[in-house]
Amino acid sequence: MGLTSQLIPVLVCLLACTSHFVHGHKCDITLEEIIKTLNILTARKNSCMELPVADVFAAPKNTTEKETFCRAGIELRRIYRSHTCLNRFLSGLDRNLSGLASKICSVNEAKTSTSTLKDLLERLKTIMKEKYSKC
């Protein structure tokens, strides 16, 4: 009797957790976290926000959303690995984006126009908010 009463809350919790992911709420959690991080980053007044980055959104029309997120991740990685500012936020954002991105992509800096980190983050925030509204 004692073992059964201890197992019931555990089983209910497991059932609730699995149904949470089965119904697609993982998308919401990841997007919420990405949007929250982007809100924090874009509100900051930091000299790193003016760093030049490749304009990952200036890609051919046939570029998929996953490929765009992959390119954004590459640029974020390039920034937080070579500069000491905003590392925690940018690396977390990169980690969350990797779940939404394709595994392989390239950013050809010679052919790509440049933008600032702030512009990249603002555009990414707009895209993520649109994506979240459709979830």
Report yes or no: 91 and 80 within 8 Å, Cβ to Cβ. yes
Query: Can you give the pLDDT at residue 105?
Result: 82
The reported pLDDT for the residue numbered 113 is 82
- Report residue 56: phi and psi, to 5°: -70, -15
Average of pLDDT values for 116-128?
Answer: 96
**Where do the structural domains in the chain lie, given as residue ranges?**
24-134
Residues 49 and 116 sit within 8 Å (Cβ to Cβ): yes
Choice between 12 and 53, residue whose per-residue pLDDT is larger: 53
* Mean pLDDT over each residue of the chain, to the nearest integer: 83
CATH class of this structure's domain 24-134 = mainly alpha
* pLDDT recorded at residue 126: 96
Per-residue DSSP letter, 47: G
pLDDT one-digit tens code per residue, 72-113: 999 999 999 999 888 999 999 999 999 888 888 877 654 568
CB neighbours of residue 130 within 10 Å: 9
Give the number of other Cβ atoms within 10 Å of residue 122's Cβ.
Answer: 16
Q: Between 15 and 37, where is the model more confident?
A: 37
Strands (E), the chain: 52-54, 114-116
Query: Per the confidence metrics, is the pTM higher than 0.85?
Result: no
